[in-house]
Structure 1
């Protein structure tokens, strides 16, 4: 089984990413279930605006799209900025919108029988709002969202230290992240054994 983590930090490589650090906790747990995990840092790629799978010359979204179709598990990881998902996360979701019109060999939307979850970090509040926005979009596209398929870290309202600079709150975020990984794997395994049928 394969999983893809799309890190929607605003920080280009090689700058350390708080969001990637927390997502790595989830990835490590998935690896314990023999899931092969791949990471993509979207800000490092040339992702043209639009709601198409291929925007033409120079667009690097098609290779991310290929990874999505190779993976049974998807994790969108985003920081919170102004109480909302990052602009990079919005760009990723807009490009994924094209998947609504793509079907598999049995006529099902290509996101069917795949599961997804959300990781959020930020030194301000708004994590639940970010989780809701991203989960709702992924559900619209066709992904199955298991119960408690998310984790987040922040220290409450107002500015504060970053995840990589602060130990407070990590134990809860890590425990929740490991539970998230278990739930994603369990539902992905169930859908592999008993896939959703084509409608109609």
Structure 2
């Protein structure tokens, strides 16, 4: 099964455009690196670097760049959402991306399934406040509603002590528990993605 070629797309939902340092970007890249250890190729897209319109359709027009991102997503077997926590919630950029995924509910492929059916998702969260489990739960529910599947241990996160200023990208070396959790999420997601590539859901 390890010979099956699979790929991943990481959507980084930081509020900061490139080239600003971003903890979400760092954790997303770490997920991608761990996926590569299991033969998964991939790329990372920082959503705010693109003109993504608010909305719930496949294409909001007027230069909307979501269709290009969606094309990459549909070509991948694994979708990683990497988001910071703001005020106990997924970042607004993350929520915008999830709202755009709502359009998939009304789409079907040649087999009568959502085009996202058979794709696997991972959620990666960073923040210097509480709320990682809540944020993961919100994002996973939205992704599951829009067709994505989850392996066991399908999330990774780091949160610092509440009400302090240290960010994940300032932690050297990477905290061991987060590093191990990321490896587990990547390993399990790669395994499930290969299973679903070889044996798709049926309508």
Q: TM-score range by the shorter chain?
A: over 0.9
Q: Which runs of 5+ in 1 are unaligned?
A: none
Structure 1, residues 7-35: CA drift from partner, whole Å, max 9, x if none? 00001100011111112111111112221
Q: Structure 2 stretches of 5 or more lacking a match?
A: 1-5
Q: TM-score normalised to the size of structure 2?
A: 0.94
Cα distance in 2 between the residues matched to 1:11 and 1:137? 23
Q: Deviations over 1:87-146 (max 9, x none)?
A: 000000001110111111111111111100100001111011110000000000010011
Alignment root-mean-square deviation, CA: 1.2
Whole-angstrom distance in 2 between the partners of 1:169 and 1:56: 41
Pairing of 1:1-200 with structure 2 (within 5 A): 1-167=6-172, 170-198=175-203
2:28–2:44 contact (8 Å) kept in structure 1? no
Per the alignment, residue 3 of structure 2 pairs with none
C-alpha distance in 2 between matches for 1:109 and 1:129: 26
Count the aligned residue pairs: 198
Q: CA separation of 1:21/1:169 partners in 2, compared to 1, >3 Å: closer, same or farther?
A: closer
Deviation at 1:169, TM superposition (A): 6.8
Q: C-alpha distance in 2, partners of 1:156/1:128?
A: 15
Moved runs in structure 1, 4+ residues, more than 2 A?
A: 156-160, 166-169
